[in-house]
Chain A
Amino acid sequence: MKQAAELLPGTLDLLVLRTLTRGQQHGYGIAQHLKERTSGVLQVGESSLYPALQRLLLAGYVESEWGASENNRRARFYTITPAGRKQLAAERKEFDRVVEAIRLALA
């Protein structure tokens, strides 16, 4: 497994929202998904994940409801909202812009 890398500041919200466009998910599931998707490079710590989810709830980008997990345990599922999708698009654009600028500067 590759070394886990530091999450770029400010990108956690972006990643969570993107994950949720794939469908409803609970907190653990989001973390697992990111780990698998990036082959272990991005490992979201619980201590940053849950506050981030609360922030997204406050902003109205996600909604939550309690349901049953795969193994029939009670878990809290998050869904992205239309406002969240809009925000995702905006943040993605911004992220691309910054990354491109860095690339240019490094070239």
Chain B
Amino acid sequence: MKDAIADALSRAIRRFVHLVRFRARATDLENELAFHREQIARELITRGVPHADVPSEVRRRMGNETFMREEARGVWLWPTVESLWQDVRVALRGLGRSPGFTLVVTLTLALGVGANAAVFSVLSTVMLRPLPFSNPDRVVMIWERDRTTGRLFGVTPADFADWRGRTRMVSSIAALDPFPTVTLTGAGAAERLAAAAVSAELFSVLGVKPVVGRQFVASDQMHGGDHIVMLGHDVWRTRFGGDSNVVGRTITLSNTPYKVVGVLPASIGVIGKPSDYYGRTKFDVWIPLRYDPQLLPKLRGTHPLRVFARLSVNRTIADARSEMDGIATALEAIHPETNEDRGTEVVSLADQVFGSARRPLFILSGAAILVFAIACANVVALLLGRATKRTREIAVRIALGAGRRRVVRQLVTEGIVMSSIGSAAGVCVAWGLIGALRRLIPVNLPFAQNVAIDGRVLTAALVVAVATGVLFGIAPLVLSRHKEMQQALRAGARSAGTNTGGAQRVFVVGQLAFALTLLVGAGLATKSLLQLMAVDPGFKSDHVLTARISLAGDSRYETSAQAEDFFRELVERVERVPMADEVAVAAHLPLSGSDNSWGYQLEGWPKDDSQNAKYRPVGTRYFETVGIPLRSGRTFTNADRADASRVVVINESLARVITNSTGAASAIGKRVRMLDPTMEWRTVVGVVADVRHFALDQPALPELYLPLGQTPFPVHDAFLTIRTRGEPTAIVEAMRRTVAALSPDKAVFDVQTMEQRVSASAGDARFRATLLGLFAILALVIATVGVFGVMAYIVGQRTRELGIRLAIGARPVELVNHVMRDAAVTVAIGVSLGLGGAWTLGRVLASFLFNVAAFDGAIVLSVASILAASSLVAAWVPARRLIKLSPIAVLQDN
């Protein structure tokens, strides 16, 4: 026993050594053989064999060198490996002999595996990542909700302070103001950074600790305290080299010195999802949230804050909800002029981050699984078809004495080889697909930038694919046990198989149904997208360049007048740039994600009566630059300065409210006032057309435009808009230089053409349409292939029977018709079943569709026709062979 072990061990060692010296051994053998040949030649010559005959005689004596080399080499391989390798080679040869079949199966598997790996990688990155906070399921976000429209808003500072004082259901509550932007100077090039102003309690709400230094404490929020800042992880690494000595250093933000007190961990980007922060994925710096205690109670107009809270122990989110409702009602009673109809909404942080993404992603994964199922079904069907053809071969091999196990192993190997090739191709497909998906994913899906192929997902897909291959590699063996298969060996018996492809027909019907469902879905999504893009946004988006600029935190531009002066100077300078036709600034641009609203009163309304309108500070020439048509009256001019009489321009929606309310013919000349501290009356001087501000599929709301100098609060963040002659992008450099010349530490950012913004606003719809389209095409291809496979199989099975019919006198065309009718019935059943699926999918998609009915007859009809047509063509190709069928050949083939 010990000897056997020792022997096996020493052999194993020698095998390892051999592996290393593989090439050397091969050369050795060649040299040996060369020597041997030489010696034989020498011997022959001495014996007197004529020189001409020597080479052939040597060859004869040497025998089968190829075989010998293989044998010699085979000695060194592990025994199982050697025969496995043989099996693999046989399998590859077999696959090579039927290239069409191999190609089809490989393609099908590749598409199925690739699509799934890609989609589930996205899914796992976006959905299954746990939030980087302690006990994240105890963290909630609290929004303010307009009770009449149901829209959610951020929280006003005064409301937040009140909530903080009153709530018991949460153990800690904190706020984050995402709007400050600062410019970092003095450490390299000036750079605009995204800043978050946060309450000190945010860190305990989230359970987050700084990696270096300390976090904010309550005393840091004192109004007028020292300027301190915490750095975000990325900025710390890229601008400050990840140096832990940065704590205590002073940096200059927007011309003010700030002391660095700590650095946040890398896991904290934004708290929540990017779309809650206008697309931002991280904050660069964090500063304490401070309010002047005198002003704080008055700040009930704007809604900048995002509020986070941690539920108290043993409290549920339902508890928090009912408490917040009560608090909101109480505040409504105390502050009716601002808090009317102002409710709250409490959402778990996980839902906030992932909630809206769930629906589309589930649709996505549903589609991917469908495609994978179809692909596997196809592979199954094709392998089954091939298997029945080979049962005879298998039965013969076994009868001739091939070990059953060996045969099984060979078949399994074949199945594995085939599915491995397909899966490897699938990995490539997945790579490509992920790359494309990454570019398409709308930015409001969380963690979108981190999408990469997930190893686990890939492994799972590969395992399933390989299992499919194995399973149906064995199929012929299983089938060969059938009594009928044994008959195949008897001379004169019927050819193998009474299987008329029933099981496969079922598969194909299923595939067709799935394909139709996906195709209709894709059609609906595409039509929805087209409808969306066809909407008139209310302004002219061509040839307009836009960029953001921020004066926040700069003491030189604190007052309304100072800010207005800066913007006017900026506009004048940019107007001098050659390609600029019209230039203007505005606080909020349509489809940019930026927005603000305020309560207002019409003259003549009861004192407590007020409504909400969108608040739009704009510079002169704004409407002309962006192309919003004037309906009546006038737009702003340079005369509408800070010291001039108060005027406003309104949009058609607001004009309608006014004319309905007053019964007047026109809103021009009427006076309104905003519920701001000044409470000044402003005269309506113009009415402009409605624009789609929020999204192309959302109607306009009443909008109140004010001249920049007349706003109750100074405008510090604005959009610069330029209508250009020629390509808007060509003016970008000139614009940057002009801004830098005016104020070197102000950088413009978020530079886009208006058309880009319009297009991006349809990003979700485009993503859906593209994805569904992709899957639909995949499904179409796979289903068509399935039809082809089944038909080829059936034709093959029935060749004998049909050949007999030919012999009896049927015409080839009749045979083809007969077979095609058969196929047509299958296709019809599949398509009909698919209609049911399409209807269901339509219902699921309904909430995403714009201007498209959930069951659009035209789409269904055209899609069904395409599917039916391609299926019938696919069925016809193998059926065509029947025309050339020779009855004699069929009868002879036994």
**Binary flags per residue of B1-45, CB closer than 8 Å to A gives 1, else 0:** 000000100110011001000000000110111011011101000
Say whether A33 faces chain B, with CB atoms less than 8 Å apart: no
Chain A residues whose CB sits within 8 angstroms of the CB of B31 once the complex forms: 74, 76
Distance to closest chain B CB from A2 (angstroms): 17
A98 to B38, CA, bound (A): 38
Contact of A51 with B76 in the complex, beta carbons under 8 Å: no
Q: Is the CB of A47 within 8 A of B35?
A: no
- Please measure, in the bound complex, the distance between the C-alpha atom of A54 and the C-alpha atom of B36, giving whole angstroms: 16
The CA-CA distance from A50 to B7 in the complex, in Å, is: 22
- A11-62: which residues lie under 8 A (CB-CB) from chain B? 26-28, 45-48, 50-51, 54-55, 57-60
Please tell me which stretch of B60-68, B162-170, B528-536 contacts chain A, meaning at least 4 of its Cβ atoms lie within 8 angstroms of it.
B60-68
In the complex the two chains form, is A50's CB within 8 Å of B11's CB?
no
Q: Are B32 and A76 touching (Cβ within 8 A)?
A: yes
Cross-chain contact B62 with A46 (CB below 8 angstroms):
yes
Q: How far is the CB of A96 from chain B (nearest CB, A)?
A: 21
Query: Complex Cα distance A46/B32, Å?
Result: 11
**Contact in complex: B72, A74 (CB < 8 Å):** no
Contacts A51-B71, A54-B75 given; 18 further ones with Cβ under 8 A?
A26-B35, A28-B35, A47-B65, A47-B71, A48-B68, A50-B68, A51-B68, A51-B75, A57-B14, A60-B10, A69-B39, A73-B35, A73-B38, A74-B31, A74-B35, A75-B32, A76-B31, A76-B35
| With A60-B14, A76-B31, A76-B35 as contacts: A47 and B76 at CB distance below 8 Å | no
Contacts of A54 in B (CB 8 A): 72, 75-76
B7 cross-chain contacts in A, Cβ below 8 A: 59
Could you tell me the distance between the alpha carbons of A55 and B11 in the complex, rounded to whole angstroms? 10
- Contact residues in A for B67 (Cβ distance below 8 Å): 47
Bound Cα distance A58, B7 (Å): 10
Quick check: B14 and A50 within 8 Å, CB to CB?
Answer: no
A-B contact pairs, 7 of them (CB 8 A): A47-B65, A47-B67, A51-B68, A58-B15, A58-B76, A60-B10, A73-B35
User: Closest residue to B13 on the A side, CB-wise?
Assistant: A60
Measuring CB to CB, which residues of chain B are less than 8 angstroms from any residue of chain A?
Answer: 7, 10-11, 14-15, 18, 28-29, 31-33, 35-36, 38-40, 42, 61-65, 67-68, 71-72, 74-76
**Chain A residues, CB < 8 A from B32:** 26-27, 50, 75-76
A107, B193: Cα distance in complex, Å: 105
Are the CB atoms of A28 and B40 closer together than 8 Å? Answer: yes
Complex Cα–Cα for A19 and B62 (A): 21
Query: In whole angstroms, how far apart are the Cα atoms of A67 and B67 in the complex?
Result: 27
Q: Is the Cβ of A45 less than 8 Å from the Cβ of B39? A: no
Specify the chain A residue showing the minimal Cβ separation from B15.
A58
A59 with B11: CB separation less than 8 A: yes
- Kindly provide the distance from the CB of B437 to the nearest chain A CB, expressed in whole angstroms: 52
Q: Which residues of chain A come closer than 8 Å to B65, judged between CB atoms?
A: 46-47
A76 CB to nearest chain B CB (Å):
5
Q: Which residue of the partner chain B has the closest CB to A57?
A: B14
Q: Which residues of A contact B62 (CB under 8 A)?
A: 46-47
The residues of A that contact B35 with a CB separation of less than 8 Å are: 26-28, 69, 73-76
Q: CA A78 – CA B298 in complex, angstroms? A: 102
Minimum CB–CB distance for A1 against chain B, Å: 12
Say whether B61 contacts A60, CB under 8 Å. no
Complex CA gap A58/B11 in Å reads: 6
Q: Which residue of B lies closest to A69 (CB)?
A: B35
| A38 to B551 alpha-carbon distance, docked (Å) | 107
- Cα distance, A60 to B13, chains bound together (Å): 11
Q: How far is the CB of A85 from chain B (nearest CB, A)?
A: 15
The distance in angstroms between the C-alpha atoms of A86 and B496, with both chains bound, is 57
Tally of chain A residues near chain B (CB < 8 A)? 21
Min CB distance A61 to B, Å, is 11
**Contacts A47-B64, A74-B31, A74-B35 known; A55 to B75 CB distance under 8 Å?**
yes
Q: Is the interface of A mostly helix, strand, loop or mixed?
A: helix
Tell me which of A27, A47, A58, A71 contacts B63 (CB under 8 A).
Answer: A47
Judging by beta carbons under 8 Å apart, are A46 and B28 in contact?
Answer: no
Q: Which residues of B contact A71 (CB under 8 A)?
A: 42
CA distance A71 to B65 in the complex (A): 25
Chain B residues, CB < 8 A from A45: 63
With contact pairs A46-B62, A47-B65, A47-B68 given, residues A60 and B36 touching in the complex (Cβ less than 8 Å): no
* Chain B hits for A58, CB < 8 A: 11, 14-15, 18, 75-76
Bound form: Cα–Cα A80–B249 in Å: 79
Measured between beta carbons, the chain A residues less than 8 angstroms from B14 are: 57-58, 60
Alpha-carbon distance A69/B35, docked complex (angstroms):
10
Most buried by A among B7, B38, B39, B40: B39
Q: Provide the bound-state CA to CA distance between A73 and B62, in Å.
A: 19
The CA-CA distance from A69 to B42 in the complex, in Å, is 13
Q: Which single residue of chain A is at the shortest CB-CB distance from B32?
A: A76
Q: How far is the CB of B464 from chain A (nearest CB, A)?
A: 40
**Given A28-B39, A28-B40, A55-B75, is A50 in contact with B33 using a C-beta cutoff of 8 Å?**
yes
Give every chain B residue within 8 A of A26 (Cβ-Cβ): 32, 35
Determine how close the nearest CB of chain A comes to the CB of B487; give it in whole angstroms.
38
- B-contacting residues, A53-106, CB 8 Å: 54-55, 57-60, 69, 71, 73-76
Q: Which residues of chain A are within 8 angstroms of B29 by Cβ–Cβ distance?
A: 50
Rounded to whole angstroms, the CA-CA distance of A75 and B28 in the bound complex is 10
Write out the residue numbers on chain A whose beta carbons fall within 8 Å of the beta carbon of B42: 71
* A51 to B28 alpha-carbon distance, docked (Å): 13
A75 → chain B closest CB, angstroms:
5
Which A residue's beta carbon lies closest to that of B74? Answer: A51
Distance between B78 CB and nearest chain A CB, rounded to angstroms: 11
A23 to chain B, nearest CB (A): 18
- Report the bound CA distance from A55 to B72 in whole Å: 8
| Residues A51 and B72 in contact, CB atoms below 8 Å apart | yes
Shortest 3 CB-CB contacts between residues of A and residues of B: A47-B68, A51-B71, A47-B63
Q: Which residues of B contact A76 (CB under 8 A)?
A: 28, 31-32, 35
Question: Closest Cβ of chain B: how far from A29's Cβ, in Å?
Answer: 8
Residues of A within 8 A of B75 (CB): 51, 54-55, 58
Interface centre among A47, A59, A74, by most B CB within 10 Å?
A47
Q: Give the distance to chain B from A35, nearest Cβ to Cβ, in Å.
A: 10
Contacts of B74 on A, CB cut-off 8 Å?
51
> For the complex, what is the distance from the CA of A28 to the CA of B74, rounded to whole Å?
21
Whether A46 lies near B76 (C-beta < 8 A) is: no
Q: Could you tell me the distance between the alpha carbons of A73 and B37 in the complex, rounded to whole angstroms?
A: 12
Which chain A residue shows the least CB distance to B62?
A: A46
> Which residue of B18, B32, B76 has the most chain A CB atoms within 10 A of its CB atom?
B32
Instruction: Compute how far the CA of A13 lies from the CA of B74 in the bound complex, rounded to whole angstroms.
Output: 17
Distance between Cα atoms of A45 and B10 in the complex (Å): 29
**What's the nearest-Cβ distance from chain B to residue A30, in Å?**
10
CB B40 to nearest CB in A, in angstroms, measures: 7
Contacts of A60 in B (CB 8 A): 10-11, 14
Complex Cα spacing A28 to B31, Å? 12
- Do A46 and B39 touch across chains, with their CB atoms under 8 A apart? no
CB < 8 Å neighbour of A28 from B36, B63, B71 = B36
With both chains docked as a complex, state the minimum distance between the C-beta of A26 and any C-beta of chain B, in angstroms.
7
Distance from B860 Cβ to chain A, minimum over Cβ atoms (Å): 68
- The distance in angstroms between the C-alpha atoms of A59 and B10, with both chains bound, is 8
A84 CB to nearest B CB, Å = 13
Q: Which of B11, B18, B61 contacts A46 (CB 8 A)?
A: B61
| Nearest B-chain residue to A51, judged by Cβ | B71
Cα–Cα, bound, A96→B53 (Å): 42
Q: How far is the CA of A28 from the CA of B38 in the complex (A)?
A: 10
- Residue in B10, B11, B40, B72 with the greatest tally of chain A CB atoms within 10 Å: B72
Min CB distance, A44 to chain B, in Å? 10
Which residues of chain A come closer than 8 Å to B63, judged between CB atoms? 45-47
In whole Å, how far is B585's beta carbon from the nearest beta carbon of chain A?
85
B-side contacts of A28, CB under 8 Å: 35-36, 39-40
Q: What's the least CB distance linking A79 to chain B, in Å?
A: 15
B581 to chain A, nearest CB (A): 86
Bound together, the chains give a CA A49 to CA B39 distance in angstroms of 15
